[in-house]
Amino acid sequence: MAVWKCDKCGFTKESRCKPRKCPECGESGTFVKEGAEAKASSKGGCKKCK
């Protein structure tokens, strides 16, 4: 599991896949992986969720 953070409002969510839309502010594509395991490319997510 990874922790994803919305760049716009700061909302965080723990999930395997990158959330598409923030439930707090409604923006799409604003989530970035947070924490020590964050990679240089945070556009990932699992193949199943794309």
Domain count for the chain, please give it. 1
Q: Is the pTM for the entire model greater than 0.75?
A: no
- Residue 17 lies in domain: 1-50
End-to-end CA separation in angstroms for the chain: 17
Q: What are the tens digits of pLDDT across the range 11-39?
A: 999 999 999 999 999 999 999 998 755 55
Instruction: State mean pLDDT over 1-10.
Output: 95
CATH number at residue 40: 2.20.28
pLDDT range class, residue 40, cuts 50, 70, 90 = very low
What's the rounded Cα separation, in Å, for the pair 26 and 8? 10
